[in-house]
Structure 1
Amino acid sequence: MNNLVLFTLKDRDTLLKARKGESKFGEHIQLLPNLTNIYDAIVNLDVDYVIFGIAEDIGVYANYGKTGTYKAWEATIKILLNTQSNNATKASRILILGHLDYTKERAIVNLKPNKKNINKARTIVDAIDKNVTHLVSSIIKTGKTPIIIGGGHNNAYGNIKGAALAHSTKMNVINFDAHTDFRAEEGRHSGNGFSYAFAQGFLKNYFIFGLHENYTSNKLFKTLKRLKQMKYNTYDAIEVRNELSFETELEEALDHICDKYFGIEIDCDAIENIPSSAMSPSGFSVKQARQFVHYMAKHENASYLHICEAAPTKKTATKVGKLITYLITDFIKAHGN
């Protein structure tokens, strides 16, 4: 896979800040020295989780959105490696695989978003889909759990398809998001990963947790109500009008998707004041996002975690890296327990 850049021992040592008397996460993770076939390389590794990044924002650009999501992986790995290693974080059970790199392809995002360039970007997203699908499918087939960091929410499609192919069944998905990402099949971008997965038979039940009513069209609301496989709640109903309880809605959401393997999708747009492609001053708290991941990850059918749409700047890289690291470790602590 040409776009996969392995995370090396040299990379780790460059980022790791060892401290006397402490044991850092990065000192205990596992790495691959080389790679020819992803399945063969990890099937016999004594790990439970495989973490990889997707350094792209082409899907966001293809959706006429704010770019920058390619930076999330770099921001996260710096923080994750320097987290404490202990019985809770289970660093020795984790393989840091590396990241899918699209530096060359990203040249498109610097061009004016006219019809020609947008169509070209959507073609590139098709190619990214294939890479993500292959990685996720290969990891799950080995019996490991993928944790995917970074990029736009276009990558949900590859996660869902890859997991469905690995499990030989349609996937259910829970999406912590301010938006449905169930828009028209008009060429691949960050706003239609779930609609494509549903139309192509890889997605069965879908729950969107915390939709923002101001940013969901009547057409989409009608679509969600028409399809029995789709359920949702809104942030406004939970946190503004107090018509619904956050805790009760966690139960309702899990009930809709837990009868078979499901993916957990976290869009950082849903978290208040987190630098992202559609940052909002109104959203769930970091505490609620962490509680959400913990609650969903506890279920035995949780098949993967994807954290996307974060778009850190130089000033906010540490903040974003810490947030995503908390979500990763929350997932690991809860999963399988």
Structure 2
Amino acid sequence: MSKYLITYQLKTINKYIGHRKGEVKIGEKFKFINDPTALKEELTASKTKHVILGIPEDYGVQANYGRPGAKSAWTATLKSLLNVQQNKFNKGGKILLLGHLDFSKEVENVDFNSPELPKKLQNVINIIDKEITYLINLIVSSGKTPIIIGGGHNNAYGILKGCALAHGKPVNVINIDAHTDFRTTETRHSGNGFSYAFEEGFLNKYFIFGLHENYTSKEIFNMLNDEDERIQYNTFESLVVRKETEIIHEAERALSFVEDDFFGLEIDCDSIINIPSSAMTPSGLSVNDIRYLTHKFSRSKNIQYVHICEAAPNPKLENEMILVGKLISYLITDFIRK
């Protein structure tokens, strides 16, 4: 049983569903866990294919000096996703809505104005890592495909570790991101989830899609080039600005690099133009580009999960919450739709 997992029932989320005569929303058809103390057994017995988990936290982002707010993405997504129409394209009965993780009690005594905030957040980040590893291991071991929403990119580490433990070997990943998140493995934060997973043997091949040249250091580029058998990348500038290659071609290259084995898909909302995120950008991939890539990569028989992170809408601004909610809902339905 998970100490931090808040599971849902239909009555939990019914308040977010806009009921209309003559319409059925996918939220009305979602499946749920009945007994959290028998989580492993219920996951294994469930006939659903996809399991959705929310991680409303931004502690890893703040430990990396990023913009807070990633903890709001889960609520924004939930309100939008539940109201997607149930039809021949969207089948809510194939989805298990697990719930979300709540780590709020672990930071009650943390001074978020402290100049030593990254160090003060290490304990809670370590707890988050362990919890995510445990849950992802359970979900993947049960034969299900997790869809993880919200929080910082620090959570990629626990997701990759959980998948690797479930399969008994390291997994590959495609990360659509403006940054490598491959910083040094000293203090855990949102900028080094992949480097930790790589060093500890949970991540094998790593493809970064849409890397921004302005925000990648010479040292990082040198490291990527030194590890070219296991790490490949393209840059946003080569794709969109200089047009040296095309997204369709690069999608094929990324897929051929990782799909010889199990792999995950990471979507960092920092890569998308004008989306409220921890490192919001006025120059990035379009929403339609990301939707195409999500659809493309999700067709592979070896896809293990999708993790959509770093969106940071201001909960006081309804337009930002709606924008992020609809964006992530589109990506979720693109991922699960066959």
TM over 0.5: yes
- For residues 238 and 153 of structure 2, the distance between their equivalents in structure 1, rounded to whole angstroms, comes to 24
* CA positional deviation for 1:18: 1.0
* CA positional deviation for 1:310: 0.3
In the alignment, which residue of structure 1 is the partner of 2:203?
203
1:128 aligns with 2:132: no
Which 5+ residue runs of structure 2 have no aligned equivalent?
none
Name which of structure 1's ranges 292-301 and 37-46 shifts more when overlaid on structure 2. Answer: 37-46
Asked if the contact 1:58–1:108 (Cα under 8 Å) also holds between the matched residues in 2, the reply is: no
SS of 2:55's equivalent? strand
1:318 aligns with 2:319: no
In the alignment, which residue of structure 2 is the partner of 1:174?
174
Asked if the contact 2:56–2:101 (Cα under 8 Å) also holds between the matched residues in 1, the reply is: yes
**Identity across the alignment (%):** 51
Q: 1:32 to 1:161 in 2, by over 3 A?
A: same
In the alignment, which residue of structure 2 is the partner of 1:15?
16
Name which of structure 1's ranges 202-211 and 100-109 shifts more when overlaid on structure 2. Answer: 100-109
Q: How does 1:1-337 map to 2 (within 5 A)?
A: 1-107=2-108, 111-115=112-116, 117-227=117-227, 228-313=229-314, 314-315=316-317, 316-334=320-338
SS of 2:329's equivalent? helix
- For residues 110 and 288 of structure 2, the distance between their equivalents in structure 1, rounded to whole angstroms, comes to 33
Q: 1:144 to 1:64 in 2, by over 3 A?
A: same
- For residues 119 and 167 of structure 1, the distance between their equivalents in structure 2, rounded to whole angstroms, comes to 33
In structure 2, give the amino acid aligned to 1:216: T
- For residues 107 and 298 of structure 1, the distance between their equivalents in structure 2, rounded to whole angstroms, comes to 42
- For residues 157 and 92 of structure 2, the distance between their equivalents in structure 1, rounded to whole angstroms, comes to 28
In structure 1, give the amino acid aligned to 2:14: D
TM-score, normalised via structure 1 length? 0.96
Q: 1:106 to 1:239 in 2, by over 3 A?
A: farther
Q: 1:172 to 1:86 in 2, by over 3 A?
A: same
* CA positional deviation for 1:40: 1.2
Asked if the contact 1:62–1:119 (Cα under 8 Å) also holds between the matched residues in 2, the reply is: yes
* CA positional deviation for 1:306: 0.4
* CA positional deviation for 1:110: 5.5
Q: 1:108 to 1:249 in 2, by over 3 A?
A: farther
- Between the two proteins, the alignment pairs up a number of residues equal to 333
In structure 2, give the amino acid aligned to 1:330: D
Cα-to-partner distance string for 1:28-86 (whole Å, 9 max, x where unaligned): 11112331142112110111110010011000011111111011111101111111011
* CA positional deviation for 1:122: 2.0
In structure 1, give the amino acid aligned to 2:70: T
Asked if the contact 1:76–1:324 (Cα under 8 Å) also holds between the matched residues in 2, the reply is: yes
Asked if the contact 2:118–2:187 (Cα under 8 Å) also holds between the matched residues in 1, the reply is: no
Q: 1:76 to 1:110 in 2, by over 3 A?
A: farther
- For residues 247 and 110 of structure 1, the distance between their equivalents in structure 2, rounded to whole angstroms, comes to 46
- For residues 248 and 93 of structure 1, the distance between their equivalents in structure 2, rounded to whole angstroms, comes to 32
Q: 1:206 to 1:108 in 2, by over 3 A?
A: farther
- For residues 74 and 64 of structure 2, the distance between their equivalents in structure 1, rounded to whole angstroms, comes to 21
Q: 1:109 to 1:283 in 2, by over 3 A?
A: farther
Name which of structure 1's ranges 100-109 and 15-24 shifts more when overlaid on structure 2. Answer: 100-109
In structure 2, give the amino acid aligned to 1:267: D
SS of 2:128's equivalent? helix
Asked if the contact 2:17–2:82 (Cα under 8 Å) also holds between the matched residues in 1, the reply is: yes
- For residues 86 and 221 of structure 1, the distance between their equivalents in structure 2, rounded to whole angstroms, comes to 46
SS of 2:11's equivalent? helix
Cα-to-partner distance string for 1:225-261 (whole Å, 9 max, x where unaligned): 0012000000011000111111100011111101000
Which 5+ residue runs of structure 1 have no aligned equivalent?
none
Cα-to-partner distance string for 1:159-215 (whole Å, 9 max, x where unaligned): 100001111111000000000000000121100000000000000000000000000
